[in-house]
Amino acid sequence: MSGAETHAPAGHAGGGRKGAASVEPQALGPMVLGDHEIHVWCLAGSEPLDDPSQERLRRPLRPEECEREARFRFPRDRQTFLLARALVRQVLSAYTGIAPEDLRLQANAHGKPEMAAAHGDARRISFNVSHTDGLIALAVMRRGAIGIDTEKVSSRAASLEIAQRFFAPSEVASLGQVAADALPRQFFRYWTLKESYVKARGVGLSVPLDEFAFELDPMPGALSLHAAPGDRASAWKFWQLAIGGQHLVAVCAERLPGVRPRLRVRSVDAQWRCGGTEMTLVGESFDA
Ligand SMILES: CC(C)(COP(=O)(O)OP(=O)(O)OC[C@H]1O[C@@H](n2cnc3c(N)ncnc32)[C@H](O)[C@@H]1OP(=O)(O)O)[C@@H](O)C(=O)NCCC(=O)NCCS
């Protein structure tokens, strides 16, 4: 769930609070992405950054991205948007060799950002990004559709009532069996998986959320999809990760003929230095 984007006074995307951290991000080195690989990049933490650091992160962004950043009402949401866009540009640049500022992104009819067709099929890679309080997650794949969602597990936002509004009957029934203290985590397991599927398909909420369902842990660590009408569960591969103590991430990748997909996860900080965040694989879907 992203923050509220509003038409706040044009004042500026400042956020240079006293004691804010300073970063000098360095370019990531060249990266190789195999046909069978899905790479996930996680940027955890939401320490406020000072104005010069924000300016450095903003350099590769397009004017329209800076305008969008400035429209978020709260500094924390502005910074999350800025870091997410800067991360997308750095990471895509590392895989494609195109300079971060030269990358052209375009949105599909439902708003899903993609590398612009002008870059040519040989250089284009698929990506999807998600951001929430304290975590930005970016998934990349050489070809095929990809979706990622991250949420902070908070008891405030999880309830059976919300599940009844959005989830499939089987998911609601399963949540109804869960002990109250385990409900938030299980609720967000479903939520992130559902969002990752919707985001991979890239057609927004034209996929009704109650017309497809996940089954969690039919065997330990396994999960499975009952696909939406007109789709096949076997077309998709899912992974679910716990990042740090508070966040869940779900990744949905299109299965490609003859390719056995493998997931690699990296954490980076706001200087693009790797390492440091604890991650656990919570679940994975397997061939039917
Ligand atoms: C926009 C949407 C794709 C996800 O929104 P979200 O979960 O609030 O936000 P996330 O942080 O996970 O993802 C936002 C990013 O997804 C990307 N995105 C935008 N539209 C997209 C689309 N149609 N498909 C895939 N990705 C999309 C963008 O990069 C966006 O980042 P940006 O705003 O910085 O440009 C959309 O599916 C949505 O509004 N979902 C809410 C649906 C809901 O009510 N779900 C109930 C529980 S299952």
- Spans of the chain below 70 pLDDT: 1-18, 46, 288
pLDDT of residue 46: 66
For residue 148, give the ligand 1 atom closest to its CA: 12
pLDDT of residue 12: 33
Locate tokens 């060249």: which residue? 30
pLDDT of residue 43: 96
Rounded Cα gap, residues 12 and 23, in angstroms: 20
Beta bridge partners of 172: none
163 closest CA partner among 150, 151, 176: 176
Nearest CA to ligand 1 atom 32: 81
204 closest CA partner among 274, 128, 284: 128
Rounded Cα gap, residues 179 and 183, in angstroms: 6
94-140: pLDDT as tens digits: 999 999 999 999 999 999 999 999 999 989 999 999 999 999 999 99
How many angstroms separate the alpha carbon of residue 72 from the centre of ligand 1? 16
How many angstroms separate the alpha carbon of residue 4 from the centre of ligand 1? 13
Rounded Cα gap, residues 264 and 92, in angstroms: 16
How many angstroms separate the alpha carbon of residue 18 from the centre of ligand 1? 32
Nearest CA to ligand 1 atom 21: 112
For residue 194, give the ligand 1 atom closest to its CA: 48
pLDDT of residue 18: 61
**Residue 236 tokens, joined:** 């998709």
**Residue 187 tokens, joined:** 């609720």
**Residue 199 tokens, joined:** 């985001």
Locate tokens 């908070």: which residue? 154
CB-based contact 236:148 (threshold 8 Å): no
How many angstroms separate the alpha carbon of residue 269 from the centre of ligand 1? 23
Nearest CA to ligand 1 atom 44: 166
How many angstroms separate the alpha carbon of residue 19 from the centre of ligand 1? 32
